[in-house]
Amino acid sequence: MAKYSYEFKKKLVTEYLDGHGSYGVLAQRHGLSDKKSLRQWVAVYNKFGDDGLKRSRNRTVYSFEEKLSIVES
């Protein structure tokens, strides 16, 4: 399970973008260990929107034949 939920990340990113505090102030107010996580969430949100804050769970599964054809090529 992710350490921080999508809703929590979205709340903090929105607060930051609305000007309710700096990275450090918001991180401390909400109990983050450091401001680095919030800074990364804001950057990802600016680049990818809401989808950037959601956890990706799509893992591609390849069959044995597909793996073998890749190795042989």
44, with CB counted inside 10 A (0-12, 13-18, 19+), is: middle
Model confidence pLDDT, tens digit, residues 3-53: 899 999 999 999 999 999 999 999 999 999 889 999 999 999 999 999 899
More confident residue, 72 or 15: 15
More confident residue, 12 or 56: 12
CB 26: neighbour CB atoms within 10 A? 19
Mean per-residue pLDDT for 46-69?
87
pLDDT attached to residue 2: 58
Tokens of 70: 């890749």
DSSP 49: T
> Domain residues of the chain, as ranges?
6-72
The pTM of the full predicted model, rounded to 2 decimals, is 0.73
